[in-house]
Amino acid sequence: MALLDNFRMDGKVAVITGAGKGIGAAIARAFAEVGADVVLGARTEADLKAVAADVEAMGSRALVVPTDVMDPEQLERLPAMAMDAFGRIDILVNNAGGFPPKPVAQTTGKEFVGAFRFNVATAFDLSRISAPLMVESAGEGAILNISSIAGHKPTPCFAAYGTAKGALSLLTQELAQEFAPKVRVNAIAVGSTKTDALNTVLTPEIEQTMVDLTPMGRLGEVEDIALGALYLCSPAASYVTGDILGVNGGLERLNMQMPRAFGGMG
């Protein structure tokens, strides 16, 4: 077998959350391009249908499952519907998550816990449910968590998001130990990536500052993250588990400049 064949996913089924736009949609398209069928979960059905059309145009199958991962019943339904439709799950991508930059003094305890639940607890629950299904249906599997450089590079105004992503990265390593050798679990620590979420805070001046602070001299594209996901979830990474892959342009600190609580910039 040629080495590049290890990046193929023919016959595999991938469940992806937050799949309607941005990173999740790019991962779905990448997986379809190498032969995988995809189960698309997100809140907005119209977005999911647009991604599904792209997937089907590549010759792969797509199942649209409108899903709010914060609703326990909807979250549990996602892997169940994947099994009903395709009879197997090979890959789970926990991509849904996020929380905007916000000073600690303006972040309520409820919001802090909510950020943790959105970014960590939902990934825990989907992994807990999906890993046994992978082993039962396919004999093995791969789980990928979309984490962030904010999870290990502290900066002002990222206490809620950064703490949650730091926990997600540690959860990745914990699950990798527990699920080995049958199910591999890895994460990607993304940097500033051009998505609708980032665009809500970007101005030309902010973007230029962020580019200047990034060693690779540009912001990330969703395809950059998708290529990392393709590697970690494909047979090419069959000896990789518990790893946090940085896809962030070489950042050693966050490139979004935010004010400290009592004066100065972070």
This prediction has a pTM of 0.95
Q: Do the Cβ atoms of 32 and 57 come closer than 8 Å? A: no
The candidate with the shortest Cα–Cα distance to 108, out of 159, 165, 162, 164, is 159
pLDDT of residue 266: 66
Span 179-191, pLDDT tens digits: 999 999 999 999 9
Q: Is 4 exposed, middle or buried (0-12, 13-18, 19+ CB in 10 A)?
A: exposed
Domain boundary assignment for the chain:
3-247
* CA distance linking residue 184 with residue 71, whole number of Å: 26
- The residue whose two tokens read 């994947």 is 82
Which one of 31, 86, 99, 161 is the catalytic residue? Answer: 161
CATH class of residue range 3-247: alpha beta
Look at residues 51, 46, 60, 61 and name the one whose alpha carbon lies nearest to residue 19.
51
Identify whether 161 is a catalytic site residue. Answer: yes
Tell me the mean pLDDT per 10 residues along the chain, length 266.
95 98 97 98 98 98 98 98 98 96 96 98 98 98 97 93 97 98 98 81 85 93 97 98 96 84 76
Nearest to 232 by CA among 191, 203, 189: 189
Q: What is the pLDDT of residues 23-64, one digit of tens each?
A: 999 999 999 999 999 999 999 999 999 999 999 999 999 999
- Rounded to whole angstroms, what are the CA distances from 21 to 26, 27, 49, 91, 197? 8, 10, 11, 19, 10
